[in-house]
Structure 1
Amino acid sequence: MERYLITTADERTWKFDRPVLFLGEWCRIFDRKHVWSSMDAAVAEPFGLGPGEKLRNFERVKRSASMLLDDLIAPLNAFHGTARSRREWEIILGHWVIRYSSLLFNRYHTIEKVLDRHELNGAAIRVGGYENLARPDSLSFIWACEDDEWNHRIYSMILLELGQQRLEPLMEDFSPLRRAPADLEEPGRSTLRRVLGKAMATAARRNDAFIVTPYLPSGKRLALELSLGQAPQLWDPVPAPVVPVDESARRRFKIDFSRYTGFEQSLRAHVSDLIPTCFLEGYSDLVRRADAVPWPTSPRFIYTANSFDTDEVFKVWTAGLVAQGVPYIAGQHGNNYGTHVWSGADFWPERSATDAFVTWGWKDNRNRTMPAFIFKTAGMPSRRESPKGRLLLIGVCLPHRLDPHDSYAEYEVYQEQQFRFVETLSDNVRAELTVRLHGEHRQHPWRDEQRWYERSPDTRLELGTAPIKTLINDSRIVVHSYDSTGILETLTLNVPTLAFWQGGFEHLIPSAREYYDALRRAGIVHETPESAAAAASAFWEDVDGWWQRTNVQQARVRFCQRYARTVKRPVRTLTKLLMTQAATLTKPPR
């Protein structure tokens, strides 16, 4: 049967008088079910979720991103009149290159698969306006990936590119593209903090180590700087310039893609449409801002556990100093590092473009990897038992549509597993359950609250506003429904912990599987939501009796020693690591 292709949730592009094919679940917004449920509609099979597909596609995108970065260096240097090295450009826009490659891989192959498997009698496409695809910076690019209009334009380009016939051009003005939420674009800073930061900056010296967003508790962060023999600082991020798209400039900025075909050609053809303006039109202003920051001019070393990703001014400033031989050290930000085949893997710039990478305990065969301790809980005591506490289920929000595979379809499976966990709990334990939604869930279009209220109206929801530490302290058992940083935190604090997630251990690198498998054998990690719910119900009346079993504690301790290590003197440990590494690093730029 022929169907009309719908690629967006914007109902102005839909047809209601014929059979339609929704490209994915993102088209069917939950609170518009009364509209789409009555249509003669099918949903295309998700892309990239078949057996082994995710791993193969991760490798394909990894290779594509590396090749694209190589191809970008000469055009960027020519456009800006610079001579930056590959390493410098990797520091500046390496994260964006990987995300862009992953996003376009997904959009291109999703359309390609639909054209191959379905008979289509038309599709609405957006004609023109492609110049509006470029966002101001890396963070706004991430958030644009969820924007219906933005994605519709990309799908339109690909449909035209792949020669789809019977396309229906749409010329009307659509809604403006979505920006990153204001509280995520520029974190709010209190007046007191700003005043304090300026006062403290007067004591900074030109050769002080530059430490920003170290992911440590605030007291440990200040103690770290004192331990390094320098006055503590509170450096604030400097916003990147927001400049309009210059179409003529983008026409001049081109990559030669004549030797490529298919996706690789498309990837290069659309760089000039999608590269953020801070890397092109606003680059000169970005460099000026980096040159004007009141930070040390000749730091002993640079250390961050977060700013390496979307802090554009920091990255340009760092790249310039790295070229002069200043050591650049990054710290682990959350889980996945040292365990995941994609997230936090060694091709991400915080690991590939730095002189050293400080981990939460694990070591690999790279000399630049330095085992330390779990930063987030540094100095915190183990939690005392809470025998009368509740059951806490900690969830994640819908991910940004940046993966090579269909993250919406994957999240739909995830959501169903949450419901199955709750429905399998014994009645007495379910009565004590709190489901903690992710604090960002309202920024995404999944409508988590509505789905929970429809499927499980009696379940107590915490909407992501209460402090997570308070919720954990008030809980008898904490359950994680995804492989999260929270698992590392609760295990290292010796909080009774259960976990389950879809996909088993397929996302793990080989060296990590034995540690996770030990948690599985100990009954901490479960392969199904039903198994995790059965464990919570079985252990509920004597949680401590279960949690203190020898095999459970041995598995927990062994896992934490590898991935969430604790040390008695975290500040001294990190100081020694940073000073030793900075002293041994070669000064000439590599």
Structure 2
Amino acid sequence: MLLVTTPLESTWGADEDIMFLGEWCKLYSRKEIWSKRNYEVLPYHWDDRVKLKKDFFNLQNFNKKIIKELTHILNELHNVKENEHYWGILLGYWVNIFTAVIFDRWTMIDKAVESNKITKCHISNVEENNLAANETSDFIDSVINDSWNQAIYTIIIKLTTNIPVEIIKKDQISKSETKNKQKKSYFKQVLSKVVFNKFTCFSKNNDALIINSYLPIIEELKLQLSLRQFPIIRNFKKVKAVEVDNSFRNWELKDRKPKDNFHEIIKYLLPKLLPKIYLENYKNLVSTVKKTSLPKSPKFIFTASSHYDNSIFLEYAAKSNNLGSKLILADHGGFGCNAFNGAISYQLSVADVSLSWGWQDKDHINVRPFGILKTIGKNQTWDNNGLGLMVLGTMPRYSFDIRAMPIAGQMNDYFTDQFDFYGSLPESIKKKILIRLYQGDLGWDQKKRWQDKFRNVLIDSGKLSINNLLKKCRLFISTYNATTFMETLSLNVPTIMFWNINNWEIHDRAKKCFKELEEVGIFHATPQSAALKVTEIWDNVPGWWNQEETQKARTNFCNNFAKEVKNPIKELTKKLITTNNE
């Protein structure tokens, strides 16, 4: 069989039998093409969720070794003496994504070889100098792109297998048809020009740096005033990109004899894929940070999201942290309920203190419960006679991290659950359910899937905010284990939740609370159960929602995972100051 690794149809041959490496090869929009071929889809290795969790922890340990080696390599390369903690903050999240992605891609090629069904593969010549991203945010965009994955699979096949290959000319390789980028709204574009980084002349050298705190803007300004500093809303542009310079990439990990093909491919790809911001562009990064109008000796640094892929912030935070400024990070989603998550592991590994939305972690003493930040200052209204708002999510067609969420082709199971829920509702209720699509489609063709399945379905494209949509709705329907349902529960909005707990694994610390939510009909483990509950309560949602046992389960959950804090800015100020003085 011909091995096909991506949706790029120029690699599919003419009429050969096909082995698709994964469901990501089969774009819904091209069903009329691939459905006519004789094909098989290779079983996905992480459909074994026990293996997924085991691989997650093994790779977390492996990442520590890589960061340790990179510390020596990069210090020597740049003639600096930064410690391992500095480099861990600066590029730890990238390493987490890199190893997870390459492990996944290598494992699937290995499974294809083990199937003994592959006779050949069509590949293109890869320009390896073009593979390195400028920085982590660009790398994340790359790893869910078809052409990039085609290149990586090609390298792995050539380096670790004996599969016969046929070279396809570069101009025969079609471009990816999917769009992954979300456009910034006009309002946000104007806001960035008018508000961001203004009045920095009033900043003092020992002011706390507060950026992307997950607080509403007005509340973030109040927080800075409460800390007795001039309020500044900050944002950082990217460092100007440079070309690859191979003199910065002439190094390798110390492991002279990799113990398997995975370690061999990591050793080969790491110098080629490490973003330019850590190599060719590192001196420019350091220089840019020095020129910014940031506090020279911040009393502490506080963010909920900038620590993942904002290079200027990361270099500033890493250096300031080594000089004594505490790095205080906050949850920005359903961290407390996820059984495992690479983003959470990175955050807990670098933070002096991690402020949770209410949960505690006996294995990480740096986790300090506080409360939910996103709903501070918000008052949500809804319409007891309005629609039902069903909010959907998507994940990339290719894995980009290891998390307790559907990965790659498992999203097809997620879509099936949504259709089963909607299809189980009476026609009279279906007419009043608004499906809010995830704004970043990521190549799933959400709208077409729904319209092909249900001709008269009400659809919102995802451009309007959930808060505005809720004003016209009687019930919020959550379909995934992440931020949104925590916000609605915290705001006491009538909420029904359902998802497959085999693909959205719940952390042990949260299982008791979810059991209580299930007993009162808020949480459901199957779409059919959720549909029955919606049908039961539809004509009197407040009658169910305001019952004592329903509110008790909601309140208990929120106290642990989405806690409402009275006088939140005052209490957050106190928490930050106390934490900083420890």
CA contact (8 A) 1:224 1:571 kept: yes
Matches within 5 A, 1:248-259: 248-250=247-249, 252-259=250-257
Counterparts of 1:268 and 1:259 in 2: how far apart (Å)? 10
Distance 1:193-1:446 versus aligned 2 partners, 3 A rule: closer
Q: CA deviation at 1:494?
A: 0.8
Residue 357 of structure 2 corresponds to 360
Residues 1:147 and 2:168 are matched in the alignment: no
Q: CA deviation at 1:176?
A: 7.2
Counterparts of 2:8 and 2:187 in 1: how far apart (Å)? 32
Q: CA deviation at 1:403?
A: 3.5
Q: Of 444, 455, 479, which aligns to 1:457?
A: 455
Residue 543 of structure 1 corresponds to 541
Q: CA deviation at 1:451?
A: 1.0
Q: CA deviation at 1:324?
A: 1.0
Counterparts of 1:176 and 1:18 in 2: how far apart (Å)? 22
CA contact (8 A) 1:79 1:253 kept: no
Q: CA deviation at 1:160?
A: 1.7
One-letter identity of the residue aligned with 2:394: C
CA contact (8 A) 1:499 1:524 kept: yes
Residues 1:293 and 2:292 are matched in the alignment: yes
Q: After alignment, is 339-348 or 573-582 more displaced?
A: 339-348
SS at match of 2:167: strand
Residue 304 of structure 1 corresponds to 303
CA contact (8 A) 2:513 2:556 kept: yes
Residue 388 of structure 2 corresponds to 391
Q: After alignment, is 204-213 or 44-53 more displaced?
A: 44-53
Gaps of 5+ in 2: none
Q: CA deviation at 1:196?
A: 4.5
Residues 1:124 and 2:122 are matched in the alignment: yes
1:301-330 Cα shifts (integer Å, max 9, x gaps): 111111101100110111111111111111
**Cα root mean square deviation, aligned:** 2.1
SS at match of 2:89: helix
Residue 420 of structure 2 corresponds to 420
Residue 46 of structure 1 corresponds to 44
Distance 1:192-1:172 versus aligned 2 partners, 3 A rule: closer
Q: CA deviation at 1:190?
A: 4.6
Distance 1:73-1:180 versus aligned 2 partners, 3 A rule: farther
CA contact (8 A) 2:59 2:99 kept: yes
Residue 509 of structure 1 corresponds to 507
TM-score (normalised: structure 2): 0.94
One-letter identity of the residue aligned with 1:236: N
Q: CA deviation at 1:479?
A: 0.6
Q: CA deviation at 1:340?
A: 1.6
Q: CA deviation at 1:295?
A: 0.8
CA contact (8 A) 1:106 1:404 kept: no
What is the count of residue pairs matched by the alignment? Answer: 575
Question: Percent sequence identity over matched residues?
Answer: 29
1:340-396 Cα shifts (integer Å, max 9, x gaps): 232266521x22112111111112233322211110101324x45522110111000
Gaps of 5+ in 1: 585-590
Q: CA deviation at 1:43?
A: 1.2
Residues 1:432 and 2:432 are matched in the alignment: yes
One-letter identity of the residue aligned with 1:113: K
Q: Of 505, 508, 519, which aligns to 1:521?
A: 519
Q: CA deviation at 1:260?
A: 2.6
Counterparts of 2:345 and 2:519 in 1: how far apart (Å)? 32
Distance 1:246-1:170 versus aligned 2 partners, 3 A rule: farther
SS at match of 1:374: coil
Residue 34 of structure 1 corresponds to 32
Residue 259 of structure 2 corresponds to 261
SS at match of 2:47: coil
Q: CA deviation at 1:299?
A: 1.1
Q: CA deviation at 1:199?
A: 4.4
Residue 111 of structure 2 corresponds to 113
Counterparts of 1:192 and 1:325 in 2: how far apart (Å)? 33
SS at match of 1:216: coil
Counterparts of 1:90 and 1:138 in 2: how far apart (Å)? 13
Distance 1:121-1:24 versus aligned 2 partners, 3 A rule: same
Q: CA deviation at 1:131?
A: 2.0
CA contact (8 A) 1:379 1:568 kept: no
Residue 7 of structure 1 corresponds to 5
Q: CA deviation at 1:483?
A: 0.7
Distance 1:340-1:550 versus aligned 2 partners, 3 A rule: same
CA contact (8 A) 2:436 2:461 kept: yes
Q: CA deviation at 1:179?
A: 9.5
Distance 1:419-1:257 versus aligned 2 partners, 3 A rule: same
Q: CA deviation at 1:504?
A: 4.4
CA contact (8 A) 1:480 1:498 kept: yes
Residues 1:319 and 2:318 are matched in the alignment: yes
CA contact (8 A) 1:338 1:345 kept: no
One-letter identity of the residue aligned with 2:576: L
Residue 223 of structure 2 corresponds to 224
CA contact (8 A) 1:145 1:151 kept: yes
SS at match of 2:384: coil
Residue 271 of structure 1 corresponds to 270
1:496-519 Cα shifts (integer Å, max 9, x gaps): 111111234862222221111211
Q: Of 327, 338, 341, which aligns to 1:340?
A: 338
One-letter identity of the residue aligned with 1:379: G
Distance 1:10-1:198 versus aligned 2 partners, 3 A rule: closer
